[in-house]
Chains A and B, each alone.
Chain A
Amino acid sequence: MFKVTIDGIEVEIPEGSTILEAARKIGPEVAPPTMCYYSSLETSGGYCRTCLVEVTKGSEKDPRPMPKLVPACRTQAMDGMVVTNELSARVKEARAGVTEFLLFNHPLDCPVCDQAGECHLQDLSYEHGKYKTRTDFERRTFEKIDIGDKISLHMNRCILCYRCVKVADQLTDNRVHGVLNRGDHAEISTYIKEAIDNDFSGNMIDVCPVGALTDRTFRFKSRVWFTKPMDAHRDCEKCSGKVVLWYKGDDVLRVTGRKDTWGEVEEFICNTCRFDKKKTSDWTIEGVRDISRHSVISANKYKKLVKPNEFTLNDIKALPE
């Protein structure tokens, strides 16, 4: 076991773990945000640079600090390593910079984007971004391509995290989409306009941190925070069948995988469960899905919400003279 200190908190981790894994073990207060890393996808991470952290002590053996900020998701933690994340001004500045870069070409169409409310980029910009934009240049746009009747690709919103490419590589047999072109014109595309059609393609939607890949069967039906998530399962021959149903009234508007604290799907689900089973009778309901109190999706729906102390006029005291 290795001992690693992150933001002054010590944690024990198995050898070979990354800094991010160590930070997540401590908890959300020190875990850096991630936009491209996905724990269940191999070789993911390292691209978005939001998880950059400062290593102030390399290890017990070699205590030299690392000169550059390092991506927590792809850097192995060493025994005795000391890492600063939120406490480092350098990290905060770099992270604010990365947030700004990610938003540089990202359309501000949140009001019409299905991902709004569960978008990682929204969270990132809220927590680490600037309140004011410093650019008025025209954003780059792409021609829209059709990738099938179940998934909608809105390339303008893509931040090139490569997660959907890795899903196709590691979960399905034949990957038909990938990254074409270079630089800020790089795009997720099927080379010869082909539909992405296989049993697990729907997971691309769940792993997409932004609204670039959305569920066509759910498109424009409702804002996510007006829907009520319920845990449910069914016997499925292809996948675990453990899902979240998103209800509005008595209707199931969409089905997704179950996401953990870090917004990552616990178990990938198949397209039959996701797109075709939209009746309550298809499912065994387990109960209301626990959603973080800080998420907009939880708004006004949970009894867990603590009622604030009632405010009375008697509380007002005159200022001391």
Chain B
Amino acid sequence: MQRKLLFEHIDTEGIQTFDVYRSKGGYSSVEKALKTMSPDEVVEEVKRSGLRGRGGAGFPTGMKWGFLAKPEGVPRYLVCNADESEPGTFKDRYLMEHIPHLLIEGMITSSYALGANTSYIYVRGEFFYVIRILERAIEEAYKNGWLGKNIQGSGFDHDIYVHPGAGAYICGEETALLESLEGKRGNPRIKPPFPAVKGLYGCPTVVNNVETIAAVCSIVNDGGAAYADIGVGRSTGTKLISASGHINKPGVYEIELGLPVEEFIYSDAFCGGILNGKALKAVVAGGSSVPILPAELILKTAEGEPRLMSYESLADGGFATGTMLGSGGFIVMDESASVVHNLYTFTRFYHHESCGQCSPCREGTGWMEKILHKILEGNGTMEDIDLLWDVQSKIEGNTICPLGDAAAWPVASAIRHFRHEFEEYVKHPARHQQINFYDHCHNLASATT
């Protein structure tokens, strides 16, 4: 039986409201932290839990918190990155929409650990209704004495502000997010200095994903060791996976890390198998920016070991035969899907979302989109496939922020694993154009409603 830490009470009627949330044991982590633990003890618990950043990079959270500079007389900030815009990822929205107090609770506990008296939730602009839900939750928390001055008589003051983004994917990059939060153009900063030293308004700042902050609640409640018991190896705890694509049961699932991928796709407790009983073709395992893997490599590693839903197992084999857990946007494609079409959609997205600050990403993403468009239009040549490969290799690693890498990896992996499909498309464009991409989406939409 899979344990649930974040979504334990998600189906409870009225869990969005403070009273119901509190009656289910909500805010107990704040209570415990404020009354019985010192801030450093909370940080220690998080370190012990092995919790890793859930936003995509998987950096150990405790270590990140440990890096936070603590100069005298300078305020520190906690910023919650709720600018969830990765295609295929929709876990944070679900969490904030259905159990907003979990995030607020995590924010207070985390802020206490970091010594931050002010924290911000930077919400993606398109989630306008989520902003209202969060603000209502924050208001309730203020009313009940969980926010504001002297929380529950502990002497700890804390304020949370919700800041809406303006709809740019790049503002999910932590330094671009900080720029945007400061009211500037959302361009990523050049690092170093890292936010832990010089972040929001030039002060030490920790930027964490929604899910990471929410996970802090159960770590404080049950102890880091109990959290570390769940999962495998260095992938501890539970993870929210947003499953979409050609599956019978798309949605957000909380899984224990270490669940076999095969079980996740085919078990009725999760995705419930491939739509219409078709064969699995490929999976993008962690949101659009991670490498796509063909069926045989996603179910089993190159050595024939079963592939697990964990940071290490998914990354097994490097980028040659592996991928990344990323932010948990699990996109499944059946045999009828066209990898070339899919790649075009991804690349178009990155072209549209590139901030334009550094040249490889600004020009390279547009170039890749144009080449793919040319192939889709039926005018591609074999040289174009090589050119596409070359362009992505010139972008990867040469940009200011990871958006360049995120744009290059899907292209590299699609060509690496599905080169035959590109060649097929170049040779017989008419044959493939008949599989209309938009019909495809339409069929999918009507099948799932």
Chain A contact residues, CB within 8 Å of chain B = 46-49, 52, 68-69, 71, 74, 93-94, 97-98, 100-102, 104-105, 134-135, 137, 140, 159-160, 162, 178-179, 181-186
Contacts and interface: CB of A to CB of B under 8 A. Distances in A.
Given A101-B394, A102-B363, A183 B351 contact: yes
Contacts of A100: 394
10 nearest A-B residue pairs (beta carbon): A97-B394, A186-B356, A101-B363, A183-B354, A46-B190, A104-B363, A183-B356, A184-B366, A137-B370, A101-B359
A104 B367 contact: yes
A57 to B, nearest CB: 18
B357 A160 contact: yes
Contacts of B387: 134
Nearest to B357: A47
B185 interface: yes
Contact of B362 (A74, A94, A160): A160
Contacts of B190: 46, 71, 74
B336 interface: no
A98 B360 contact: yes
A178 B363 CA distance: 20
Interface in B237-288: none
23 contacts: A46-B190, A52-B398, A69-B397, A69-B398, A74-B190, A97-B398, A98-B398, A101-B394, A102-B359, A104-B367, A105-B363, A105-B366, A135-B370, A137-B367, A137-B370, A160-B357, A160-B362, A182-B170, A182-B354, A183-B355, A184-B351, A184-B362, A186-B362
B358 interface: yes
Interface of B: 168, 170, 185, 190, 351-360, 362-367, 370, 387, 393-395, 397-400
A48 B366 contact: no
B57 to A, nearest CB: 15
Contact of A101 (B185, B353, B364): B364
A46 B358 contact: yes
Contacts of B399: 49
A185 B367 contact: no
Given A46-B190, A100-B394, A182 B359 contact: no
Interface-central residue, B185, B360, B399, B400, by most chain A CB under 10 Å: B360
A182 B355 contact: yes
B398 A182 contact: no
Contacts of A49: 358-360, 398-399
A143 to B, nearest CB: 17
A248 B367 CA distance: 42
A64 B370 CA distance: 39
B398 A94 contact: yes
A46 B359 contact: no
Contacts of B359: 47-49, 98, 101-102, 159-160
Given A49-B398, A179-B185, A183-B356, A135 B367 contact: yes
B95 to A, nearest CB: 28
Contacts of A135: 367, 370
A284 B326 CA distance: 65
Given A105-B363, A184-B354, 16 more contacts: A46-B190, A49-B360, A68-B397, A94-B398, A98-B359, A101-B359, A101-B362, A102-B359, A104-B367, A137-B367, A137-B370, A160-B356, A179-B356, A182-B168, A183-B362, A184-B356
Contacts of A181: 356
B370 to A, nearest CB: 5
A179 B355 CA distance: 11
A185 B363 CA distance: 10
A93 B390 CA distance: 11
Contacts of B394: 93-94, 97-98, 100-101
A148 B351 CA distance: 32
A183 B358 contact: no
A246 B332 CA distance: 65
A98 B359 CA distance: 7
A135 B352 CA distance: 20
A47 B357 CA distance: 6
Interface-central residue, A94, A102, A182, by most chain B CB under 10 Å: A182
Contacts of A185: 356
A104 B356 CA distance: 14
B178 to A, nearest CB: 15
Contacts of B364: 101, 104
Interface-central residue, A48, A98, A178, by most chain B CB under 10 Å: A98
Contacts of A159: 359
A87 B387 CA distance: 25
Nearest to A76: B192
Contacts of B400: 46-47
A166 to B, nearest CB: 13
A162 B351 CA distance: 20
A93 B354 CA distance: 23
A148 B400 CA distance: 34
B352 A183 contact: yes
B365 A101 contact: no
Interface-central residue, A101, A135, A162, A186, by most chain B CB under 10 Å: A101
A28 to B, nearest CB: 22
Contacts of A94: 394, 398
Contacts of A105: 363, 366
Contacts of A186: 355-356, 362
A40 B351 CA distance: 33
A46 B206 CA distance: 24
Interface-central residue, B359, B362, B397, by most chain A CB under 10 Å: B359
A115 to B, nearest CB: 18
Nearest to B387: A134
A18 to B, nearest CB: 12
Contact of A183 (B366, B395, B397): B366
A142 to B, nearest CB: 13
Contacts of A137: 367, 370
Contacts of B397: 68-69
